[in-house]
Structure 1
Amino acid sequence: MSRKIAAGPEELATFDELLSMSGLEFMQGILAGEIAGPPISGVMEYWLDEVAEGRVVFRGAPKFAHANPMGGTHGGWYGTLLDSCMACAVMTKVPKGSWYTTLEYKVNITRPIPVGCEVLAVGEVQHVGRSTGVARGEILGVEDGRVYATGSTTCMIMTR
């Protein structure tokens, strides 16, 4: 598994720092290692791999620690990864001085992800307006190209 590691700050950006840049600039800063990434990504073993306007890709692989009692990857791992890629895709369209939060998301698991299987979580914007953003996502196997899950989200966009 090839992992991009960017040496970046240990502390999260302040709210004022977040509002001083566009969502795309903020996400590009995380990818470049200039802004700390989300702490949950370390716990869940995924990381930011690509950022473009309206599109974000995370890469990762579940470990045994992410398994359910039957030994399969827990549905929460799928949900966390999809929430991250879809909502961060919306973030890339948020203007300077604004931020977002997830209002709701839906996950459709199509097949189990084996522990250790490297996947990409691709989030793409479908719509962003003044107060809401909508995106879709897919979890795809790096080696096999198979779709492991799909999802959709609605995010609320807020301004100071």
Structure 2
Amino acid sequence: MSDQPDTPATARPLLADMPGIELLHAMARGEVAPAPMATTTNIRLDTIEPGRVSFRGRAEPQHCNPFGAVHGGWFGVLLDSALGCAVLSVVPQGRWYTTLDYGVNLTRALPPGTEVICTAEVMHSGRTTAVARGEIRGAADGRLYATGQTTCLIMAL
């Protein structure tokens, strides 16, 4: 690898040389650039295990709707990122994935500035599909703020 992190556009070809979990570890080490959305939304990869990942994040005022509440889209980005990376952690070398669908269920309002942990876990991983579920909880108090689920298509490069 070069001294510069790969851009997200080059992350998919890297899967020809490594399984998804290795790509996630390379991102965590800063060898592969995270998705630009992660910077925009103030989220970061926290833990990586086969079939399970977590992100940490903190919604700031720029992530709020006109009423001052954290926008539902912020929850969606955080859950979609964690759910997708959980699936990526079980994708073998030479394959990649794309989201077929995902859903988000908000359970309570999130005060801006509250640090949260989003944990996602693969429930099924087959040859062509994977299913994962996740939740967003307060980092300090464990309060549940949202849940989500996804179905992903796993394909050859």
> What range is the shorter-chain TM-score in?
over 0.9
| Whole-Å separation in 2 of the counterparts to 1:133 and 1:83 | 14
Taking only aligned residues, the RMSD between alpha carbons, in angstroms, comes to 1.4
| Whole-Å separation in 1 of the counterparts to 2:29 and 2:11 | 18
The structural deviation recorded for 1:19 is 2.0
CA contact (8 A) 1:57 1:122 kept: yes
Structure 1 alignment gaps of length 5 or more: 1-6
Structure 2 alignment gaps of length 5 or more: none
Question: How far does the alpha carbon of each residue in 1:20-59 deviate from its partner, in whole angstroms, 9 at most, with x for none?
Answer: 1101111111111111111100000000111110011100
Give 1:1-160 correspondences, 5 Å limit. Answer: 9=5, 11-12=7-8, 13-160=10-157
Identity of aligned residues (%): 49
User: Normalising to structure 2: TM-score of the pair?
Assistant: 0.94
Aligned residue identity for 1:36: A
| Whole-Å separation in 2 of the counterparts to 1:10 and 1:44 | 20
Aligned residues: 154
CA contact (8 A) 1:10 1:36 kept: yes
The structural deviation recorded for 1:8 is 6.7
Matched residue SS, 1:19: coil
Question: How far does the alpha carbon of each residue in 1:54-88 deviate from its partner, in whole angstroms, 9 at most, with x for none?
Answer: 01110010010000111000000000100010111
The structural deviation recorded for 1:112 is 0.8
CA contact (8 A) 1:8 1:33 kept: no
Q: Could you say if the C-alpha distance between residues 14 and 153 of structure 1 is closer, same or farther in structure 2, counting changes exceeding 3 Å? A: closer
